[in-house]
Each structure stands twice: as C-alpha cells, then as structure tokens.
Amino acid sequence: MSPTTVLRPVLCLVLAAALLAVPGVGDVPAEAARESFTCLPTNGMVKPNPPAQVMGGTVVLPYGERVNIGTTGDVNWAQSQLRSESHRFFTSLRWLETLVREYRRTNDPAILARARAIVRDFDRDNPVGRGPRPVDTWTAMYTGQRATVLACLDTLGRDAGVANVLAGHASWLTDPANDPGDWNQAIDASLGVLAAGCRLDRADWRRSATDRFSRLIEVNIDAEGAINEQAPGYARFVHDRWGVVTDKLRECRQPVPTAIAVRRPLLLEFAAWATLPDGNMVQIGDTYQTPPGNVPGTATEFVTTAGARGVAPRGTSRIYRESGYAFGRNTWSPFATGMHYSLRFGPGMNFHGHEDHQSVTLSAFGRPVLVDSGHVGYTEPQQRAHLRAPEAHNLLIVPGEAFRARRPTTLVRAEQRAAWQFYEVRDDAYGGRTRTRGVLADTARQSLLVQDRASRARSGPFQQLWHLPRGSRVEITSRSRAIARDPNGRLETHILQIPLAGETFAAGATSVVTGQRTPLLGWVAPAVDTWHPAPVVRTTRSGTSVRMVTAIVPVTPGTRVSSTVSRSGQHWEVRITAGASVRRYGISSGGGMWVVG
C-alpha cells in the first residue's frame, strides 16, 4: 500500500473550501440529487451488528473484538487496543450500514441522526489523511469502502456534512499518491470514487473510476483467467467484486469494460483447477482451507458438488504461464477419490503471495499427501512471516546462503502427456545461484518424482522440505526413506531419496520435525488465527553442488515399496515397485524426466 498522505493545515483549509463548492453538495433533498449508486448488495459487518446493538454503543468486528462507540455519536476513533487489521475494519464504517437499513424499515429520525452524527464526528477526528491512527484509517481499500457507506447513507436524503465528507474521500482516493496498486484493494478504492462521482454528480470522478476499472481488469485477472493476487483463495472474492463493479457502472450509466464479462468466467475455471479432491482450495499464498464458492452452472459448482452438477474444465492438466501455476489431476470423475497436484513459479512474491516458488502440493486417492503450511490471517506477525517464508513450503532450501526475496521463477520446459506431465522451473533465489527443480507427475500412478539441482559458494547443506497433513505419523525407516501414515489410516506415503551414480547417504539424511518453535518449522494454518503442529520430512545432502531426486509414492497401508537405479546410455532409469505395480522413469543428465513404462 502507498504511504499515507498527510496534508498540511493550509491545504486542509483549501480543500474544505473546495468541498463546499462541489456541485451537488448543497443542502438539497436526495430526490433532487442524482439517483445512482445505491448501497452495495452485501456487507459482512451488518449481521454481527444489529441496529439496537450499535445504537446501544457497541460494534463487533470480524475478528470478534467489541468496540465501545458510546451513544451520542462522539466516538473514540483511536481504539489503541485494536490490531491494525481490526482498526481498518472499524474505521471502514461498514457497520454503520445497519443503521441505514433500520431507518429504511422504521423511519425513526433518531437512527438517521445518530448515523449522521457518527460521520461528522469521524470527519472532525480524522481529517483527510490524518487522525489518531492515519496509517490504518487512510488506506485505499478501507477508504473506498467508507466512501460506499457514505454514499449509502446519502440515499436517505442529502445532508451537507455527509456529502462533504464523501467528496473529501473522493479527492483523497483520486490522488495518485494513494493508489494501492493493481490488485483487489484497488477495486474497493475505485468503487469509492465511483460512488462519490455518481451520488454527487461529478463527471470527472465517474470518468476516473471507469478508466481505472478498464485498466485494472486487464491486470487483476489475466487473459488465462488467473488472478494476480498469488492466492487462489481470493478468486471468489475477486469474481464477486467485479460483479459489483459491473452492476454499479450500469447503475451509474457508465460503460462496462468488455474484459469483465470475458474474464470473470475464466476466473471460476482457475478456481476449479485449484480445488482439491476434498472440495477445498489448495492453500497457496494467503488461502484458507475453504471451498471456492459455488456459482451454479460453472466449474466451481462441479468441484463443490464433487462432480454432481456443473461443468468440469477440459483436460487433466493446465499451465497458467503468466501468473505461474501448473495444476493437474488424474481425472475429474470420480472427483473425490482422485489425484491433484500443483507447482508454483512465475513473478516474484507480491500482494497475497508467499515465497513458495518451486513448491509442490499433492493429493492422492482423494487424500492430502503434501500440503502447504497455509494462512493464519494478518494479525500475528511472527506466524505470518514464517508462513510466507520458503521454509513453510515443499521446496529446496539452501541454509546458510542468502535468500533473495521476491525473485521470479521461470518455467523452462513442460511436457504434458495423458498419463504423466513433466515441468522444469528455475530461479536464482539462493545466493544468486541457479536453483532448478524438475517435477514428474505420474497421474496414472498418483505419485511424484522430484529432482532438485543447485549449488552454493561453500560446502554446506541442501534440504528438501516435505510438509505433511496435521496428524500424520512419520517413521524414518532408513537414511533414504520416510513413511508417512495418513491421520485416518487410509493412506501411506513413502518418501524415497533415490541414489544416482552410486550415491550413499549420511546419517540423518532423512529426518522429521514437528511443531518446532525456534526457528519455526512444522506448523499448518488452515484458518484465521488457527495454528497446529504438523510433521515436515527433511531430506538433506551436503557439498557445494547437488542433484537430489526424491519419489513421493502414496499407497494403501501395508503395501511394500522399493526402488532401484540403473544406468541406461545417457540417462538413469529409476524403477519403483509398489506392491504388484512397477513403474520405470527416465532421468537425463540434463535434468529431463519421463515415464518409460
């Protein structure tokens, strides 16, 4: 987010004078004003804040905090006990809409008077760009939300004080210094500008918002249908917000960008690709363990009903090259008992992303096998920092080498076959040296073969991290093998280090960590403020360079799994036996991998 702009007192006086002269901001009845931009259709802060509660002086915030606002309209806006995110919810004024709805129902003048008094008090204590907590109060997303609340209140009748506050918000939001960037927060910011332009009949603000939407949609949802949030969990929210944008542009008689109608359906397909066999979205970036939301007749209906209704996407593997995702599954039907995998690459970490490049996830036979550590919310800085770090993901780390944050990862090559897919990705995240990962997804066998190649300036460790579901029981059976047993006893996963060219493994080459606190390692976060210990298998090598090959082989409990390696011409052949099933894989000296048979 952009730094908060703090206006000098003399500029505030100039702005105040200008607001009084804004067309449509006179003390005139609402019927004479432009009848457009009514209240938004949904507001998650209305239900927990019934009118009697708010009139009685209490506001309840999304994280459960209760705030005393008094009964006179004179509110303490500092609320120093609130965490930053909670304070932003509080000063968004979204809870004030409950009084708008109640006034429409009862026509009680005391309710309208209280709502207007709260707005005037907010303006006195939080002049544009200032206030007791300006960094939280004046952020573009929440300022935009507050502007839509003010527009909603304006529909009850024109009040000069409310209209002037709304105009001040529009002026702040259209200042380029306050632009939040091209992600979901810009949607609410631009909706606030549109609200002011429509309610106060300002063509310049309407045009500013419309132009911003036209540019934003091309970035927020790319041509393939992926969002740039770097967190699939935001797909449904972004889809719905662009629906609100469409409705409000039409309501305000503004042109609707054609890209909105084209890209919103593609976004739902992206969400379906990112949905696991259990119906929840894969926890990439700031994504909670939740379903993608059900839009009837679409791919999201298909995945949320386990294939009972809706339309499945075509094919069984999909690469989103611009945003940096590869998804695959063995089948769409039956849905709930299938395989699903993901691989991350693409632009460096931004917005709601994590340092998860080259990370993989895997579900097999409908059960989670390799999981992302998840998302705990935005209020616990230590936990959030860990969950965004490389150590919270299924990838290769190079302890002791400087990690270069926000580096992009390139998809070097990809081969997609009906029964298997191969991907190779590359970056320079550790010490500026090349780190390359190859992933062979054997969808017929519902397993992965992963090859990591990297180097470091001085001899030291290389570690692959494999995060397992909460409740998994792990047994280290040798220096090269860990067996992870599913919490429900339905699946057993063998994590096998594959020795190439006669390699031997040192003691401790395969180990497990659960719930470590210093440094943090071995935790999963499925929901906001929810944090559980969970095992991480570490496969370790040492030296100045490494080629690590690891097989992830899920089987029914009790199935014997073994592996052998042989040289065949210019490549190695890895033979993995699981019960009566035998699969042979080729690995070239240049890093390519494929299924031999």
The answer on pLDDT for 6 being more than 50 is no
Residue 548: its H or E element: strand 535-555
Angle, CA 410 vertex, CA 407 and CA 416 arms, to 5°: 145
**Residue 436, SS3 per DSSP:** strand
Same domain, 202 and 276: no
pLDDT in tens, 140-166: 999 999 999 999 999 999 999 999 999
* Lowest-pLDDT choice from 4-18, 206-220, 530-544: 4-18
Same domain flag for 216 and 270: no
Shared-domain flag, residues 153 and 299: no
Q: What is the rounded CA–CA span in Å between residue 63 and residue 88?
A: 12
Q: Percent of the chain scored above 70 by pLDDT?
A: 94
Residues 564 and 492 in one domain: yes
Question: pLDDT per residue over 60-118, tens digit each?
Answer: 999 899 999 999 999 999 999 999 999 999 999 999 999 999 999 999 999 999 999 99
- Residues 6 or more apart whose Cβ sits within 8 Å of residue 444: 330, 419, 420, 595
Q: How confident is the model at residue 502 (pLDDT cuts 50, 70, 90)?
A: confident
Residue 524 has pLDDT above 90, yes or no: yes
Question: What CATH number is associated with residue 63?
Answer: 1.50.10.100
Residue 343 in any domain: the answer is yes
What is the pLDDT at residue 148? 98
Regarding whether 578 and 456 lie in a shared domain, the answer is yes
Domain coverage including residue 372: 266-595
Among the three residues 192, 220, 248, which one is the final residue of a domain in this structure?
A: 220
Same domain? 183 vs 43: yes
Identify which of 569, 453, 552, 593 has the alpha carbon closest to the alpha carbon of residue 585.
Answer: 593
Residue range 401-459, pLDDT digits in tens:
999 999 999 999 999 999 999 999 999 999 999 999 999 999 999 999 999 999 999 99
Q: How far is 442 from 462, CA to CA, in rounded Å?
A: 25
Return the SS3 of 184.
helix
Per-residue pLDDT, 570 = 87
Q: Do 146 and 290 share a domain, yes or no? A: no
**What's the confidence (pLDDT) of residue 7?**
29
Q: What is the mean pLDDT of residues 15-41?
A: 48
pLDDT value at residue 503: 87
- Do 182 and 290 share a domain, yes or no? no
Instruction: Mark which of 159, 191, 220 sits at the end of a domain.
Output: 220
Half-sphere exposure of 490 (CA within 13 A, CB side): 10
pLDDT of residue 5: 33
- Tell whether the model's pLDDT for residue 9 goes beyond 70: no
- How many domains does one find in the chain? 2
Q: How far apart are CA 299 and CA 228, in angstroms?
A: 20
Q: Write the pLDDT tens digit of every residue in 475-490.
A: 999 999 999 999 999 9
Please tell me the distance from the alpha carbon of residue 228 to that of residue 323, in angstroms, as a whole number. 6
We report the CATH number of the domain holding residue 438 as 2.70.98.70
Specify whether 87 is located in the same domain as 168: yes
Is residue 249 pLDDT above 50, yes or no?
yes
What average pLDDT does range 505-525 have in this prediction?
Answer: 97
Q: Do 97 and 208 sit in the same domain of this protein?
A: yes
pLDDT given at position 35: 55
Q: Is the pLDDT of residue 31 over 60?
A: no
Report residue 26's pLDDT band, with 50, 70 and 90 as the boundaries. Answer: very low
- Contacts with 502 (C-beta within 8 Å, 6 or more apart), sequence order: none
Tell me if 1 is assigned to some domain: no
Q: Are residues 342 and 426 in the same domain?
A: yes
Q: Which domain-ending residue is among 156, 191, 220?
A: 220
